[in-house]
């Protein structure tokens, strides 16, 4: 059967349209490069700082935080093609000055990149 139709051939009808707050936002891709951020307006009159590109990561290791440079994106478990394009997403393994680190936050939703150290150099 064609998509959007019942087994009998009748059409499915939506109960209502999506409200503005239910609609998807614009997809942001955070690339590896010189730091670039943007302010967005959110509901309730608040503002949100989002990343567009970043080259540093805040690494948490042994209870202490340190800001280090990212040199390369090694692998991305969610999609291997993102690693080839040096795109920073949650769960991606990146190469830093201290060693391999895993990104623990969502850089497209926040203004910085957070991570934990996996292996030392």
Q: Which of 17, 103, 2 is nearest to 118 (CA)?
A: 103
* Overall number of domains in the chain: 1
Is the pLDDT at 83 greater than 90, yes or no? yes
Q: How many degrees, rounded to 5, is the angle at CA 56 between CA 108 and CA 110? A: 25
C-alpha span between 42 and 101 (Å, rounded): 31
Q: Could you tell me what percent of the chain has a pLDDT over 90?
A: 66
In a domain, 36, yes or no: yes
pTM for this predicted structure: 0.80
State the pLDDT at residue 121. Answer: 66
Does the residue 112 lie in any domain?
Answer: yes
Q: Which domain holds residue 113?
A: 28-120
Residue 102 and residue 91 in contact, taking contact as beta carbons nearer than 8 Å = yes
Look at residue 23 and tell me if it is in a domain: no
| Region class of 84: left (phi > 0), else alpha (psi between -120 and 50), else beta | alpha
Q: How far is CA 19 from the centre of its chain?
A: 25
Which residues fall within 8 angstroms of residue 59, CB to CB, at 6 or more apart? Answer: 65, 66, 67, 68, 96, 98, 101, 115, 116, 117
The dihedrals phi and psi of 81, each to the nearest 5 degrees, come to: -70, -25
Residue 114 belongs to some domain of the structure: yes
Question: Given this model, what pLDDT does residue 61 score?
Answer: 83
Q: Is residue 14 part of a domain?
A: no
* Tens digit of each residue's pLDDT (9 = 90 or more) over 25-72: 888 899 999 999 999 988 889 999 999 999 999 998 888 999 999 999
Q: With respect to residue 6, please indicate whether it lies within any of the assigned structural domains.
A: no
User: Is 93 contained in some domain?
Assistant: yes
Tell me what pLDDT residue 20 has: 87
Residue 52, in any domain of the structure? yes
Per-residue pLDDT at 3? 80
Which CATH number fits the domain that encloses residue 98?
Answer: 3.10.290.70
């Amino acid at each position: 059967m064609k998509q959007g139709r019942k087994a009998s051939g009748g059409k499915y009808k939506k109960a209502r349209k999506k409200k503005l707050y239910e609609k998807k936002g614009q997809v942001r891709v955070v690339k590896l490069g010189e730091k670039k951020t943007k302010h967005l307006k959110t509901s309730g009159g608040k503002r949100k700082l989002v990343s567009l590109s970043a080259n540093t990561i805040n690494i948490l290791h042994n209870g202490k935080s340190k800001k280090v440079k990212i040199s390369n994106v090694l692998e991305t478990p969610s999609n291997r093609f993102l690693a080839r394009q040096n795109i920073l997403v949650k769960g991606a393994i990146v190469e830093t000055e201290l060693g391999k680190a895993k990104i623990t936050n969502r850089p497209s939703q926040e203004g910085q990149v957070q991570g934990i150290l996996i292996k030392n150099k």
